[in-house]
Structure 1
Amino acid sequence: VIAEAELEIDWVVRLISQVRGVRAEMNVPPGAKIPLLLKDAGERAKHCVETQVALIVGLARLSSLDLLDGEVPSGAVQDVINEATIILPIAGVIDLESEKVRLEREIARQDNEIDRFEKRLGNEKFIANAPDEVIIAEREKLDEARQIRIKLGEARERFLAAS
């Protein structure tokens, strides 16, 4: 019984975290209450939703939480969590066109940062003269910029699928 409860809470925490992450990526205002739809939910996911709906709605700042059997509404962002697809209809909450422009601008900025770090780390003179700590720091900055770029790319893909 305890193991089952742990699995349920773990699933709920992952769901809430994923919803919050998508909200942040898509620049949904923190106070905006949006609906959450679950599609292709397995039995465990359905059980978790039924027993923890109030907790999920409150912590993920949702207006509602429902299971979806039909088509995904247009203007909705989709993501996958273990046994279900989460769908967040955001078209009425954010300006889709300005969000697209913002994402493209952020991606271009990250691409420039990555190029700058790669050029610096590819410069033999820099590598020969810079202290090891500086080189390590530059490599870490490059890795961080690449991770941010990946996340922005994923956000753009979710956004394009929604629009």
Structure 2
Amino acid sequence: FMPFITEEIWQSLKGHLDYETAESIMVSPYPTTDDGDGDNREDLEIDAEAEKQMAVVIDIVRAIRNARAEFRVEPSRWIEALVAAAETKPAIEAQARAIETLARVRPLTIIGMDGTRPDKAKTIVLEVAEVILPMAGMVDIEAERERLKKESEVTQAEIARLEARLNDENFISKAPPDVVERERKKLATQRDRLMRLGERLSQLS
């Protein structure tokens, strides 16, 4: 079906182009960007401002999707989101519906950098905006807190086990160096995990 769909799109778009085009997309040359030779068809100007605006939208959508994955939000579930911005606020407002659809957020509220923010929310700082996700809209706070506490306890127990093993002179002297190094990496990973679990818990408190 794709050739028919692309042909239909081409027939709808070609009337809006400011240069002559072929009757069918099948025999049309592939579009190119500005090559500086003055040819109207070839010299398609790149809208730097539009690219900048879309980069902001992509960053916002990516941040929300990552947060959804982090908190195990069901893909079909809509969550509330706020976006705080200054000079990019109008551009974000213009793309609000795209952000809602791509990040599955509703309602989406766009505020200034000094706007009112909810308590118990995850804040993601981007280059030119901030994404604020109320925790109550993403998770059952009490259930998530209990889950994180249990994960923290399991992680602490694993850290204690690894520390005891690495403090055992008998193990250090007899185990191959690569095995010892592997255990040290495991310990570093578990410590990092415990730190991230603590950060998640603090967001819920």
TM-score by length of 1: 0.78
Give the deviation of 1:124 after TM superposition. Answer: 1.4
Q: Which moved more, 1:101-110 or 1:147-156?
A: 147-156
Identity %: 37
- What is the aligned partner in structure 2 of residue 128 from structure 1? 173
- What is the aligned partner in structure 2 of residue 64 from structure 1? 107
Q: Which moved more, 1:4-13 or 1:148-157?
A: 4-13
Superposed counterparts of 1:8-157, under 5 Å: 8-39=53-84, 41-44=85-88, 46-68=89-111, 70-157=115-202
Deviations, residues 126-159 of structure 1 (Å, cap 9, x unaligned): 1111112211211221122122222212211222
Which residue identity is paired with 1:77?
K
Which residue identity is paired with 1:80?
V
Distance 2:47 2:185 in 1: 41
1:152–1:11 distance in 2 versus 1, CA, 3 Å: farther
Distance 1:65 1:154 in 2: 25
Bigger radius of gyration among the two: 2
Distance 2:64 2:177 in 1: 40
8 Å contact kept, 1:26–1:155: no
8 Å contact kept, 1:35–1:65: yes
Which residue identity is paired with 2:169?
E
Give the deviation of 1:66 after TM superposition. Answer: 1.9
1:156–1:118 distance in 2 versus 1, CA, 3 Å: same
Q: Which moved more, 1:101-110 or 1:90-99?
A: 90-99
Unaligned segments of structure 1, at least 5 residues: none
Compare the two structures and name the one with the higher helix fraction: 1
Give the deviation of 1:98 after TM superposition. Answer: 0.9
Distance 2:160 2:47 in 1: 50
Q: How many residues align?
A: 158
Q: CA RMSD in A?
A: 2.5
Q: Which moved more, 1:138-147 or 1:95-104?
A: 138-147
Give the deviation of 1:107 after TM superposition. Answer: 1.5
Q: Looking at both structures, which has the greater relative contact order when contacts are Cα pairs under 8 Å and sequence separation is at least 6?
A: 1
Unaligned segments of structure 2, at least 5 residues: 1-45
Which residue identity is paired with 1:63?
R
Distance 1:147 1:10 in 2: 31
